[in-house]
Structure 1
Amino acid sequence: MSAQYGVAFSVLDLASRKDVDNGPAPALKRSLALAQHVEQLGFTRFWVAEHHNMDAIVSSATAVLIGYLASGTERIRVGAGGVMLPNHAPLVIAEQFGTLEALYPGRIDLGLGRAPGTDSVTARALRKGRIGSAEDFPSDLAELERYLGARREGQKVIAMPGVNSQVPLWLLGSSLFSAQLAAEKGLPYSFASHFAPRMMMQAIEVYRRNFKPSAVLDKPYVMLGIPLVAAESDTRAEFLATTTYQRILALIRGQNMLMRPPVESMDGLWQPYEEQAVHDFLGMAVIGGPDTVQQKISSLLQRTQADELIFTCDVYEHADRLRAFDILASVAS
C-alpha cells in the first residue's frame, strides 16, 4: 500500500464515541475492528492519539490502548500519533513503549507532540508536580532518546524495559517548531494537516531544507494527516461528511463532540462564519466517490511529494468507515 502512488498509507484513529454508545467500550472495540480491517487491506501503520478531558475521545491511556490493538493484530505497525511529551516524565514513556516493543517487536511507533492534548486545567491535573512545558520539549526528547538507546557507561538510570529497544521516534506538529527540530535530529516528521493545514507547505519546506541525516534516517521523511470520507458516490460521501462537520462545529463551539448521525443538510445548523471555520479546519479533507478520491490524492501528492499519508475517518456508522478504507485501498492498488 500503495502501489499506484508509491507512498505508504496509514490510519490515525481517534477512538471516537457515538451519541448512542454506552460508555467507552464500544469505541475501543471499533478501533480494534478497524485496525484488523486495514491490516488485511495492507495499510502500513495504525496510530491513536493522546487526548484528555474530551467526552468523545477515549484514547487518553494511549500506551494501554496500543497494547490492546497490537495484541489483536499481527503485522500492522501500531503506535502513538502521538504521545504528548510535556505531560509525562520521559522515563515513564520509555518504560511503557519499551514494554510494548518487547511484547510486539518491530511493530511499535512512538510519535511525540509538544502540545498538552487538552485544556490548561487538565494539563495541570495530569502533571501535578512535574514542571513539563512545550519549552522543555527538546531536552525531554533528548532524555527519552537516551533511555531508549544503548546503555552508556556510568548511566545511573535505565528504562527497563526500554533500554536499547530503539523504538522508532517521530515528531508531530502543526507549526514550524517540530519541523525544525525533526530536521535537526534527523527524525521522520508528521504534520497535523488533518486539523491544522494552514502552515503545511511551509513546515514541509523547513523540514526538508534543514534536514540532517542521522543514524535512523538518511533523508527527509514526511507524513501528512488527511481527513477521509470515501463512499460509493460524491453525493453519498458529502452526506456522510455531515457527521464530521457537526463534530468540528461542536469543537468550535466548545460543545460535546460525540459523533452524531449524518443529516441531509447543514443549513440552519451553522452560521456562515462557522461553516467557513469548519471548512478551513478540514482544508486537506478527501471527500468523495472513488474517482474524486483518486483525483484528490494524486493532486495532493503532486503538490507535497509526501512519503506517507495517514488518514482519519470519522463517519457515524462503523460499516461506512470500513467501506471508506475499502474504497481508498481500491483506488490505491
Structure 2
Amino acid sequence: MNSQQENLLQGKVALVTGAGRGIGRSIALALAAAGAKVVVNDLGVSLDGDATGETPADSVVKEIQELGGQALADTHSVADFAQAQAMIDGACQHFGRLDIVVNNAGNLRDVIFHRMSEEEFDAVILVHLKGTFNISRAAAPKFKEQGSGAFIHMTSTSGLIGNFGQANYCAAKLGIVGLSKAIALDMQRFGVRSNAIAPFAWTRMVSSIPDETPEQKRRVEGLKKLIPEKIAPFVVALASDSAKDISGQVFGVRNNEIYLFSQPRPVRTAHTSEGWTPESIIERVFPMFENDFYPLHRSGDVFTWDPV
C-alpha cells in the first residue's frame, strides 16, 4: 500500500452496507487500504432477497485482515429499523466511533410497470430507500455528537434519467437523492455532510438484465466494460477530510470518468398579470415550454459512448 494512501483515512471508522460483493466489496477494501477500520455489512442473499448460505462479509473481512487492516463482519438487515440501529451500535462498540457511512445495499425486482405487484414495489423501496434512511437515521446522533461524519449514498441513472421495467428501482434511487439533500441541509450545522453517487459498474445487480435481442446484447456487452473497482477511489476521496466542505451533491463514476450531475431548477417561466385559466395555459404556456421539455430518455440514451 502507498503510505500516503494509507494515511488518507487513518483513524476513521467506516460502515459499508452490501459490502460482500461487487461495488461494496471494492469500496470496503479501498477504505481499508486508505487506513480506515471497516464494518463490512452483507446479508449474504440472492438478488431477490433469498438466503444463499454464503457469508461474503466474512470473506471480505478476511481479505482486509490479510492486507493488514482491521474489519468487522455484520449480517444485520438494512431494511429493518431496529437491525440498522444494532448495526451502528455494534460498529461503535467494536471500534469506538463511526465516521463514514456508505449506503450501498440493494436488490432488484425488474418488472414492467403495468405488471408490477405491490410486493415487487415495496421490496425494492424497503431495501434501497427505507434502508438508506434506517442506517442514516441510526448513525445521525453519533455524527451529531462528535460534530463530524460523512454519508455517501448510492443512487442510479435509472432514477436520475430513467429506465424500462424499473419503476420501483427508479423511484427508490431518485428518492435517495432527495433524502441525501435533506440530510445535508438538516445536519450541515453539526459538521455532517451527505452526498450521492451514481455508480456505473457490471455487478450482480445489472447481470440480471435480459440479453435476448440484438439491442439487449449490445447493451449488456457495453455494461460488462464497467469495472466495479473504479468506483472506490472516488468514495475514498469523498469520505476524506479533504472533502469536508462538499455536501448535497450528486456525482457519477463511470470507469475513468467522474460526473457532477445537475439538480432540478426552473428552466423556463410563464407569467400573466391576469392570472391563468386552463384555456390560456393550453394556448400560451404549453407551446412556450415545448422546446424545453425533456424527452423520455433512459440512461443508455444519454450515456451513448464507450466507457474509458
* Range of TM-score over shorter length: 0.3 to 0.5
Q: TM-score, normalised by structure 2?
A: 0.39
Q: TM-score, normalised by structure 1?
A: 0.37
Structure with larger Rg? 2
Which structure's relative contact order is higher, taking Cα pairs within 8 Å and 6+ residues apart? 1
